[in-house]
Amino acid sequence: MPLGNEPAEIVQPQFFYQARKFSFHGNRMRLPNGVEGDWTYVKHPGGAMVIPVTPDGRIIILRQYRFAVQGRILEFPAGTLEIGETPLVTIQREIEEETGHQATKWTDLGEFFLAPGYSDEIIYAFLAEGAVPLPQPPAGDDDEDIEVLFMTPAELDAAILNGAPIDAKSIAGYFRAKPHLKS
């Protein structure tokens, strides 16, 4: 993803903590405007997400328990990039693990930052059309509590507009997928 060409000068880097999927860092930096200060951020390997659509035009979305918000939210299947894995391979694995489906047509919807105020994570978005159930779905991850839902685009539009708990990456990815969807 092309960015502006004004990098900050790192005066003193710091490392705080390595978690399972990301790490916490802090830097004493001098910004392009000359201001110096301390900034902390989450360093993340990136992720991929998918808007899966069945042959009859229904959208597959998850209702997943998220500990950080202490509740269930709607979100599209997504996963962290593994070492040596392309975003497409990541999300093809995740759609099978999280929904028990595979797709026949894949469209790259681009990438975007999730929370650049505190993380460098980029997510790669895809549309997966022709999503059909696998003959033998793989076992899901033990640390995920997921319910698979099927919604029409009109039902998902209404859920978003009526304030259903849904994460921002799912709304952004869905917005990018809408021109490809049948109403």
Find out whether 28 and 37 touch, Cβ atoms under 8 Å: yes
What is the per-residue pLDDT for 17?
85
Q: Which domains does the chain have, with CATH numbers?
A: 9-43 (no CATH), 47-180 (3.90.79.10)
Beta strand residue intervals within the chain, DSSP E:
9-18, 23-30, 36-43, 47-53, 59-66, 71-75, 78-80, 101-102, 105-113, 122-129, 132-133, 146-151
pLDDT, tens digit, 9 for 90 and up, residues 52-88: 999 999 999 999 998 889 999 999 999 999 999 999 9
Position 4 confidence tier, pLDDT thresholds 50, 70, 90: low
Q: How many residues does the chain have?
A: 183
Output the pTM of the full model.
0.87
Cα separation, 33 vs 43, in Å, equals 24
pLDDT, tens digit, 9 for 90 and up, residues 132-148: 999 887 776 677 789 99
